[in-house]
Amino acid sequence: MSIFCFDLDGTIFDSLDGIYESLNYSLVKNSFSKVKKKILITLIGPPLESYLEKLLSINLDKEKKLCILKDFRLHHDSLGYKSYKIYPHVKKVLYQIRNCSNNKVFAVTNKPYKISKKALIYFGIYNFFDDIFTANGNTDNCQKWATNIIRNKSNYLSFLDSNYGGRKFYTGDTESDYIATLGNSFKFVYAKYGYGKSFVLNEDSEVLESFNEFKNYI
């Protein structure tokens, strides 16, 4: 048995168009000018709230920032996510993983739980996953998550590491994904095709030019 964990944005989904549409909807609604896609793509990856002010090159008061984020989320979670693209070969490779031995597959992401599940269902790949681990909750299908442990990527991977044997892989496109594998048994697989900027990997890490190459680890 092997454990395969995947980040979502920049790894499973190319979510740029969906985020771009919803963000500009929210900005216009709140009397801001639209942003250009070529600027957004340099920042996309972390949660929007962490780079919104940098994207707009202004300091926002708390109330205005909350309004932009709220309107973004309302549009994104009802319409924007439908403009995502699923990366080539994802369905094929996930199918191969689930049909080989007793493998387990988990999503481990910073995306909110509800929209993560909604997007996976919409693109027809939800049933490939045993559970979805996010910063604000998960279904706890694998085992109940202790209430006193902070929900984040690093803790989720450590939790899975302690509950499952076999080979373990975590695939993501950012340095924060890589850092989450330090101190546990997960081999980091860098989705180079995603949004992450170049960073130094340890010698045990692997690099994917496309998702199709992941079949080499099954």
Q: Are 100 and 77 in contact (CB under 8 A)?
A: no
Helix (H) or strand (E) holding 218: none
Given a cut of 80, whether residue 34 has pLDDT beyond it is: yes
What tokens does 194 get? 């995603």
Could you give the domains of the chain?
A: 2-14+85-217 (3.40.50.1000), 16-83 (1.10.150.240)
Q: Are 25 and 69 in contact (CB under 8 A)?
A: no
**CA-to-CA distance for 105 and 213, rounded, in angstroms?**
17
What tokens does 118 get? 């909604």
Question: pLDDT by residue (tens digit) across 136-184?
Answer: 777 777 777 777 778 889 999 998 999 899 999 999 999 999 999 998 9
Question: pLDDT by residue (tens digit) across 107-122?
Answer: 999 888 999 999 999 9
